[in-house]
Structure 1
Amino acid sequence: MDLLSSAELLHKDRIRTPFSRWVDDLHSTCGSFRPRAMDTSLHIRGEARRINACGMEFSHISNDLDRVDHDWDDVRRDAIEQLFLLVQLEGGCGVEHGGRQSALNVGDCILVDSTKPTTFHFGGKFSNHLSLNLPRQLIYFHGGDKLDIARTLDAADPMAVTLRALVAKVLATAENDAHAANLRQLMLDATRQAFVSDVEGVLSFESLSDLASRRLRLVDVLIDQHLTNPRLSAQWLAKRMGVSMRILQLHFQDLGMTCTTFIRDKRLRFAREKIRQLQFQPGTQTIADVAYSVGFNDLSYFNRCFKELFACAPSDLLRPVSRGKMH
């Protein structure tokens, strides 16, 4: 398949992996996804692995499972906000996401949001796809653009062709390449442009009543649009929504959190992605600059909350780490 026709990416159906090991590899690569096999005693055709290239992270997933689930409990357990740009390399795959059902064929692309439940259907047939892991807020927070999450780009679509070409270029570019930073930004911009829509991409709070769900969908959009505004608060949201603070807090209580915590954790995840980017742009900003830019006005509070949520200090993200290699 054009520029991605690499022996390192294709023909993974020749690999046999014990089910339990494949599951462990998937969890370490992608998080809390739950594979379902027709017979767990059989080896899976394929593998789950991480690829790091050009300062970007990919998940390369191949299998012949029945399906893989990621429900609301899994979303909360992962506590991470990413977008996954999936490129189908071999076979086919059905995707249920955000209330939409899609069928991916070779060369097709789709954008999936980690903050929404997802089910991948394989039906016991071999499937091989590559997923580029993208920082959600860096994609969303850009001039108020709306993204058409779960829309499939057909393989022949010019934007799908462009995305596949960029992915191939990213895979072939070293992290320390002089053009790596520009290439990463081009990959983000192209992905955003490929899926920009007039339709508001919002969360689906399936466990809540229809009224609460509609309100929280709008709240989620407002938070994404105003995340870095220091005035963003539960009080501000309640006023914009035309509801009392008590009603808004009751809606969030049904989700097992407060509105303030929801906003704070979104800001922390945005900050984490921006701090990670500092590894590739030394000298441009400090951790304090990032904290203030995402809406915090107290650095000590930011550091304390960051460590509580991620079990590490912000500065730990800037320490050199060993990088995985394509194999």
Structure 2
Amino acid sequence: MELIRFREFSPDVYREYPLDEWSSSLRSVCGNFQSKPCDGMRGVTGRVHPSKAGGIELVQVANDLATIQRNLDDIRKDYGEHLFLLLQIEGECGIEQLGRQTIVAPGDCVLVDSSSPSTFHFGGKFSNHLSVHLPRQIFLSDRTTRVDVSRRVEADDPMSSILRGLVAKLMKTDSGDKRAPELRELLFSATRQAFASDDADDLSLHSDCGYHRIEIVQILIDRHLTEKKLTPQWLANRVGVSLRTLQGDFSVLGTTVNSLIRMRRLYYARDQLSLVRSGNDTTIAEVAYNSGFNDISYFNRCFRKIFSCTPKTIVRPENSVGLS
């Protein structure tokens, strides 16, 4: 297998880290996760090693923990907006997310959604994988291909080989290389195809369970993110409850439906602005409108509040002239 390409992520000897130090390293690059060692263990053998692959963030996560978990409290504290493309290098890992249980072995690939609770099971056995951080909203708002999260693509599947090869190629490509944007888009496209859903409509819209309604509404937001019809009332109608009931469901998460729509549109806009920085000639105003915002001043205020910077700072200075 092509795993030999990732030999630099498999050193002969791993050191043991204090649990707090290892966990802090993971949170700094992947977001809030809870790391739990096996009984009697106080350290973690492995490492958390971030790097760049053609302008994409890449993180090696090697450990011998019992579990790593991301729950609703973690998501509230850290509103991550990534899909993690995991490439398993050594050992096995069990993954639970969105009601699906998956076991990955060396060479396998799987997608994990940072905005939904997840649990990684290691059972104290050594596991080593690469986590490629992909722009979640750009992926899920593409209505031409629906993506299956938490589905495994096996090592001997040709699509798995393609994904590993593209990541290996990006690792050898500087972010400033003129080929980097095309390679990134090729990886995005290949990932969509590798995890394309076979189900044309996998939603059971009506439910008496508030948590199930929240899951359905989040999927609907992702699928219709840039459409003008996307409003809290439209979502309430789709799941068959009153707007007041739906707002009550989301109060458990400490947010509102409108805030969630706005947040995801802002993250989508930020990812689009990164493409502007990479050479796309789209203007900031066009990005705002295409992301579902009708008022550029309101968009700028919301963007600054969430990201502590203006949209122009995401775009390279040499491309920022006239982008307002």
Q: Verify same fold: TM over 0.5.
A: yes
Q: Secondary structure at the match of 1:197?
A: coil
- Aligned twin of 1:244: 242
- Counterpart check, 1:317 vs 2:314: yes
Q: Secondary structure at the match of 2:87?
A: strand
User: What CA deviation, in whole Å up to 9, does each residue of 1:96-128 have, x standing for no partner?
Assistant: 111121111111111111111111111221111
Instruction: Identify which of 243, 268, 271 aligns with 2:269.
Output: 271
Corresponding residue pairs, total:
314
Residues 112-127 of structure 1 correspond to what in structure 2 (within 5 A)?
112-127=112-127
1:105–1:297 distance in 2 versus 1, CA, 3 Å: same
TM-score (norm: length of structure 1): 0.88
Aligned partners of 2:315 and 2:21: how far apart in 1?
31
- Aligned twin of 1:290: 287
Aligned partners of 2:85 and 2:203: how far apart in 1?
17
Aligned partners of 2:13 and 2:203: how far apart in 1?
36
Contact 2:5 2:168 in 1 (8 A): no
- Counterpart check, 1:299 vs 2:296: yes
User: What CA deviation, in whole Å up to 9, does each residue of 1:250-299 have, x standing for no partner?
Assistant: 332333222211111111111111122222125x1222221111010111
1:277–1:214 distance in 2 versus 1, CA, 3 Å: same
Aligned partners of 2:196 and 2:266: how far apart in 1?
25
Sequence identity percentage? 45
- Residue identity opposite 2:59 in structure 1: S
Aligned partners of 1:202 and 1:92: how far apart in 2?
31
Aligned partners of 1:119 and 1:318: how far apart in 2?
36
Deviation at 1:10, TM superposition (A): 1.1
Deviation at 1:4, TM superposition (A): 4.4
- Aligned twin of 2:170: 170
Alignment gaps of 5+ in structure 2: 318-324
- Residue identity opposite 1:237 in structure 2: L
Aligned partners of 2:210 and 2:254: how far apart in 1?
14
Aligned partners of 1:85 and 1:225: how far apart in 2?
20
- Residue identity opposite 2:267 in structure 1: R
Q: Secondary structure at the match of 1:50?
A: strand
Q: Secondary structure at the match of 1:147?
A: coil
1:97–1:241 distance in 2 versus 1, CA, 3 Å: closer
Deviation at 1:42, TM superposition (A): 4.5
Q: Secondary structure at the match of 1:231?
A: coil
Residue range with higher mean Cα deviation, 2-11 or 138-147: 2-11
Alignment gaps of 5+ in structure 1: 204-208, 321-327
- Residue identity opposite 1:297 in structure 2: N
- Aligned twin of 1:221: 219
- Counterpart check, 1:155 vs 2:152: no
- Residue identity opposite 2:157 in structure 1: D
1:301–1:141 distance in 2 versus 1, CA, 3 Å: same
Deviation at 1:62, TM superposition (A): 0.7
Aligned partners of 2:3 and 2:164: how far apart in 1?
7
- Aligned twin of 2:51: 51
Aligned partners of 1:251 and 1:144: how far apart in 2?
30
Aligned partners of 2:154 and 2:59: how far apart in 1?
21
1:256–1:17 distance in 2 versus 1, CA, 3 Å: closer
TM-score (norm: length of structure 2): 0.89
Deviation at 1:201, TM superposition (A): 6.9
Aligned partners of 1:115 and 1:35: how far apart in 2?
18
Residue range with higher mean Cα deviation, 44-53 or 237-246: 237-246
Aligned partners of 2:214 and 2:60: how far apart in 1?
34
